[in-house]
Amino acid sequence: MVISYRCSAGTKLPWILSLQLILVATIQAQSASPPDFLSIDCGLTNSSYIDTDTNLTYVSDISDIPDKRYVEGGKAYNIMAQYMKDATNEQEKTLRSFPHGQRNCYTLPSIRGNKYLIRTTFTYGNYDELNSSENGSLFLFGLHIGVNFWTTVNLTKWRSPDTVWKEVLTVAPDKFISVCLINFGYGTPFVSTLDMRLLPDSMYPVVNATVSISYFSRLRFGSVDDFITRYPTDKYDRFWESWSWYNSSYPWLNLTTTREVKTLPGDDKFLVPQEILQKASTINSSFRWLNISVSAGDNLLGTRARDMEQLPIFHFAELDNNDSMNHRVFDIYRNNELLTPDFTTSPFRVDSPYQNGRFLPKMVTSFSLRKKPRSQLPPLINAFELYSLVRMDNHTTASNDVEFMKEVKKYYNLTRNWNGDPCSPREYSWEGLTCDYATANPNPKITRVNLSTSGLRGGLDISFMKMASLENLDLSHNNLTGVIPDYQSNSLRALNLSNNQLDGPIPDSILQRYKAGLLELRLEGNPICSTVKDRYCANKKNSKATLLVAVIVPVVFVLLLVVLCVLWKLRWKGKSEEQEDYAMYEEETPLHIDIRRFTYAELKLITNNFQSIIGKGGFGTVYHGILENNDEVAVKVLVETSIDESKDFLPEVQTLSKVHHKNLVALVGYCQNKKCLALVYDFMPRGNLQQLLRGGYDSSLNWEERLHIALDAAQGLEYLHESCTPSIVHRDVKTPNILLDKNLVAKISDFGLSRAFNAAHTHISTVAAGTLGYLDPEYHATFQLTIKTDVYSFGIVLLEIVTGQPPVFMDPQTVHLPNWVRQKVAKGSIHDVVDKKLLDQYDATHLQSVIDLAMNCVENASIDRPSMTEVVSVLKVCLPALSSEKQSAASTPRWKNVMDADIPKQFQLISGASTTSYEGSSFQSGYTGAVSEISLVSGR
């Protein structure tokens, strides 16, 4: 529409009137702005001034007061000197432009749930001397209100001194509203003014948390001198344009009254100012139609604007008091669609038909008021508003997360282009963050922060620990100093603080979660590790190792042990290491074992001097290695204390080397001599089940994959229990001991060891005999080890697979997983226990049987538990369609970021309005370029 009013230099009517007031204004206008107004003159170098036209106080967008800095970055400019002197107001003279970053946001303080009018104005004024608006190329950029697309600012073919404005009426989602400029790649975004006005909640009832409206046109009629009527006439500072200057050749009539125009009691939807209601336009009674045409220009053709839904609002009040018997009746049409039939004006009372807030499809720009034959008088109109719908479908990031991230940003003086909402919309989310957009939470939550190698200095900010959904925090390779704050984060599952300057002690809150297996911790490369020798301080230098650590943890299966020699029993003193290695090799081969025997030197070679640790368990440390033929292996070096019993091991290795099953991790070889006691296994590239279910990695398993994994594990155990004589009881079945190969086939690791390391070795047997949460209560009480002990632990694993929860967790009290499931199922539906990561994509028909089976496995009395054979057959029923052979093909893992990659670049096709230029500088608004006109069609 239009708003183009012509202003040749020196005759800027709207502002001229106020000239008379300047004197007074400058003397008296201190603090004249209503407290509900925020008026920002972008790029202003002084801190503030009082606008002479309105008495409003305009402030700079970057003030010295930290609380009053509304924007970061960007660069302040003045419009070109030649346009300065003609500027119609002060705000046009300066602007802020944003050459860097795709999205730059202003953050305006607000009260959550309150309604605001927000207006931006743009006066290019050729500030950068690129002549961008007139040089023929496209010059446009986008605007977001909060995290939702608002409109496009299209300045293509505009005259440099022209001004365009955009307005939106919106509800604040939070303690602040952001207004963002989006660089579409067609010129540098900039902004001249930002106005924010609080509106009473009752106004524009159609505007709510999910619906905002963007201004397209707002007109007032009658004999009006100002081009624009705004504050203080309109106490909400809406811009009302007057059309009366324009097209004076039309035979319209002005109506004016000084009588009060009333509003129906309780009708405070629009609160149109008296001054506006007291004027109206009509036509000579020989005319029948009064046409309001809000033309929008070429650019609305074939663009998104055409698909916009619109909301017209009319304001009518009868001002003709000559003859109370005379009345006006007319129909209101939108193009040829009848919107309101038989509308009758009320004397000195405003009526505002607006279709009950119904949005009408398509952007139609022609409205007409058609007189009914029985009406004595032609139609009249006082004011008209036209808005387009802005959907607020995207949600802002959870409020607390935003605050903590802002604190982090402030704490570390981060200068990266972090502004606007951290997660939303996705394509503009802050670099280094990963958010959870699952439909279950309306507000995205931050789950991962990666500020590795970001030059952070100072302490570890406690804000990170307070973020309720943060699962993975990577602050490695910075200069963090001091101690790690002691704060219990129950969400954190991976914490990488390696290569900083952090000092001890490690707080209990972290250590406990680490020990409970709930937290992956990395601290190597910190002073704190000078005294601590735990796994988290192990040196992992290369990046491949880093990845593996996360991916694979306890790889271990059984057997190849090699004895690492240690000083005791050192019989070959004085010989070189190599000699010792071989000497031992020659000396001890008590048994015939079919798998490869490695020397210590060979292990050293294949593990690249034991460089990359991929896991640590009860029996020792696991290293990644590469054989001569490039096969990857996991080398488990057994702990020194186990060496005492090494004599028992070799027979065990012999047994285990004969155990082969597709669901058991295969033993490749062993090393046993004075220098080493180690087992070499196939390397399982997908890591362990615990990581896949709950790891800090963006992996997720679908329902079918989960059932396949459960079946695989069950089959591995069934083999150990039923096909080996005597039966092999694993004793430490848990998700970290279920490893996945590249096709997501599950294989059980670490079996057999527990039997070899007998109970005499207390620290070993405790570990081997079970892990907290998986421990068979009957075995615990009686020490009667049976294969049903494994069944119990498997039941816990199965519950983890379904729920995604750890076996023991805080909720907020410590709770054991089977009890949690029982409580949930008792309280609500069985569906409440299913892992939210599945997003309801699971086979509900078999859910009940899987949970029943799991609960059956965790019966207190071992006699009540099924055998693994029974478990296998139940699971097979749940997966009837797929044979295990098809499994690998079917189990392509879904990685979350695939979803992210799908998100198209969205705004490319959005087009704004085109503009029509007029001589002289013009002020244009909304989808400008348009001409608003009243055309009168002659009646018969």
Ligand X SMILES: *[C@@H]1O[C@H](CO)[C@@H](O)[C@H](O)[C@H]1NC(C)=O
Find the catalytic residue in 53, 226, 436, 732. 732
Residue with smaller CB distance to ligand X, 707 or 930: 930
For position 257 contacting ligand X by CB under 6 A, the verdict is no
Q: Which is nearer to ligand X, 149 or 536 (CB)?
A: 149
The smaller minimum CB distance to ligand X, of residues 393 and 644, is found at: 393
Q: Does 742 bind ligand X (CB under 6 A)?
A: no
The one among 18, 293, 490, 888 contacting ligand X by CB under 6 A: 18
Closest separation between CB of residue 874 and ligand X, Å? 42
- We find the least distance from the C-beta atom of residue 204 to ligand X, in angstroms, to be 11
CB of 150 to ligand X, least distance (A): 8
Considering only the stretches 607-615, 671-679, 874-882, 910-918, report the one whose residues sit in contact with ligand X under the rule CB under 6 A.
Answer: 910-918
Of residues 59 through 88, those in contact with ligand X by CB under 6 A are none
Which 8-state DSSP code applies to residue 831?
Answer: G
Beta strands of 200-353 (E only): which ranges? 211-220, 228-229, 240-242, 252-256, 262-263, 279-283, 287-294, 310-315, 329-334, 337-344, 349-350
Query: Which residues, in sequence order, are bridge partners of residue 104?
Result: 181
Q: What's the min distance (Å) between Cβ of 156 and ligand X?
A: 4
Residue closer to ligand X, measured from CB, 154 or 737: 154
732 is catalytic: yes
Report which of 749, 724, 762, 542 is spatially closest to residue 644, judged by C-alpha positions: 762
- Is 759 among the residues that bind ligand X (CB under 6 A)? no
Q: Count the Cβ atoms, other than its own, within 10 Å of residue 293.
A: 17
Q: CB 836 → ligand X: shortest distance, Å?
A: 21
How many CB atoms within 10 Å of residue 357? Answer: 15
Edge-to-edge order in the sheet of strand 279-283: 252-256, 279-283, 380-381
Q: Which is nearer to ligand X, 591 or 839 (CB)?
A: 839
What's the token pair of residue 640?
């020194």
Continuous H helices in 610-673: 646-656
DSSP, collapsed to helix, strand or coil, labels residue 93 as helix
Residue 392 or 756: which CB sits closer to ligand X? 392
455 near ligand X, judged by CB under 6 A: no
**Contacting residue, 9, 591, 903, 937, with ligand X by CB under 6 A:** 903
Tell which one of 109, 113, 185, 232 touches ligand X (CB under 6 A).
232
Interface residue with ligand X among 90, 128, 275, 427 (CB under 6 A) is 427
Quick check: 210 and 148 in contact, CB under 8 A?
no
Q: Which region, judged by CB under 6 A, interacts with ligand X, from 22-30, 72-80, 447-455, 692-700? A: 22-30
Q: Which of 11, 82, 223, 782 binds ligand X (CB under 6 A)?
A: 223
Of the candidate spans 202-210, 509-517, 596-604, 737-745, the one that interacts with ligand X by CB under 6 A turns out to be: 202-210
Q: Which residues are annotated as a binding site?
A: 636
**Tokens 């039997």, located at residue:** 755
Check: CB of residue 218 under 8 Å from CB of residue 247: no
Residue number with CB closer to ligand X (224 or 745):
224
CA-closest candidate to residue 623, choices 585, 671, 578, 660: 671
Q: Could you tell me which residues are beta bridge partners of residue 515?
A: none
3-state secondary structure of 580: helix
Q: Which one among 254, 326, 611, 765 touches ligand X, defined by CB under 6 A?
A: 254
Q: What is the closest distance, in whole angstroms, from the C-beta atom of residue 128 to ligand X in the complex?
A: 19
Q: Does 55 bind ligand X (CB under 6 A)?
A: yes
**Cα separation, 429 vs 407, whole angstroms:** 17
Check if the beta carbon of residue 246 is closer than 8 Å to that of residue 220: no
* CA dist 394 → 148, 427, 485 (Å): 6, 12, 35
Nearest to 744 by CA among 700, 774, 698: 700
First to last CA, the chain: 30
885-914: buried (b, 16+ CB within 10 Å) or exposed (e) per residue?
A: eebeebbebeebeeeeeeeeeebeebbbbb
Q: For the CB of residue 211, give the shortest distance to ligand X in the complex, in Å.
A: 5
CA distance 927 to 915: 8
Burial of residue 654 (number of CB atoms within 10 Å: 0-12, 13-18, 19+): middle
Confirm or reject binding of residue 208 to ligand X (CB under 6 A): yes
Q: How far is the CB of 82 from ligand X (least distance, A)?
A: 24
113 forms part of the interface with ligand X (CB under 6 A) = no
Per-residue binder mask for ligand X (CB under 6 A), 152-181, x = binder: --x-xx------------------------
The answer to whether 719 and 728 are in contact (CB under 8 A) is: no
Residue 848 to residue 829: CA distance in whole angstroms: 11
Using the minimum distance from each CB to ligand X, give the nearer residue, 210 or 321: 210
CA 172 to CA 177: how far, in whole Å?
A: 6
Cβ closest to ligand X, residue 416 vs residue 763: 416
Q: Decide: is 28 part of the binding site for ligand X (CB under 6 A).
A: yes
Tell whether omega for the bond before 818 is within 30 degrees of 0, i.e. cis.
no
Helix (H, G, I), strand (E, B) or coil at 147: coil
Closest CA to 809 of 921, 694, 896: 694
Q: Which of 120, 188, 299, 862 binds ligand X (CB under 6 A)?
A: 299
- Three-class SS state of 58: strand
Helices 868-878 and 787-803: crossing angle, nearest 10°? Answer: 30
Cβ atoms of 336 and 282 within 8 Å: the answer is no
Binder among 31, 248, 324, 813 for ligand X (CB under 6 A): 248
Q: Which stretch binds ligand X (CB under 6 A): 63-71, 266-274, 424-432, 503-511?
A: 424-432
Region near ligand X per CB under 6 A, out of 208-216, 561-569, 861-869, 875-883:
208-216
Kindly state the smallest distance separating residue 207's Cβ from ligand X, in Å: 8
Q: DSSP character for 704?
A: H
Q: Residue 16 Cβ, how far from ligand X at the closest point, in Å?
A: 12
Q: How far is the CB of 512 from ligand X (least distance, A)?
A: 30
Query: Which amino acid is it at 114?
Result: N
What distance in Å separates the CA atoms of residue 498 and residue 147, rounded to the nearest whole number? 35
Closest CB to ligand X among residues 430, 598: 430
Q: Contact with ligand X (CB under 6 A): which of 1, 3, 191, 206?
A: 206
686 touches ligand X (CB under 6 A)? no
Residues 363-392 that bind ligand X (CB under 6 A): 391
Contacting ligand X (CB under 6 A), which of 19, 209, 898, 899? 209
Interacting span for ligand X (CB under 6 A) from 80-88, 261-269, 716-724, 911-919:
911-919
Q: Which residues are annotated as a binding site for ATP?
A: 636
Q: Which pair of tokens denotes residue 540?
A: 């992992």
Q: How many residues bind ligand X (CB under 6 A)?
A: 47
> Beta strands of 736-839 (E only): which ranges?
738-740, 746-748, 808-810, 814-816
Residues 131-150 within binding reach of ligand X (CB under 6 A): 140, 148-149
Contact 754, 789 (CB under 8 A): no
- Residues annotated as catalytic (active site), given as ranges: 732
Binding site for ligand X (CB under 6 A): 18, 21, 24-25, 28-29, 32, 54-55, 140, 148-149, 154, 156-157, 206, 208-211, 223-225, 232, 244, 248, 253-254, 298-299, 303, 357, 391, 393-394, 413, 425-427, 457-458, 903, 906, 911-912, 914-915
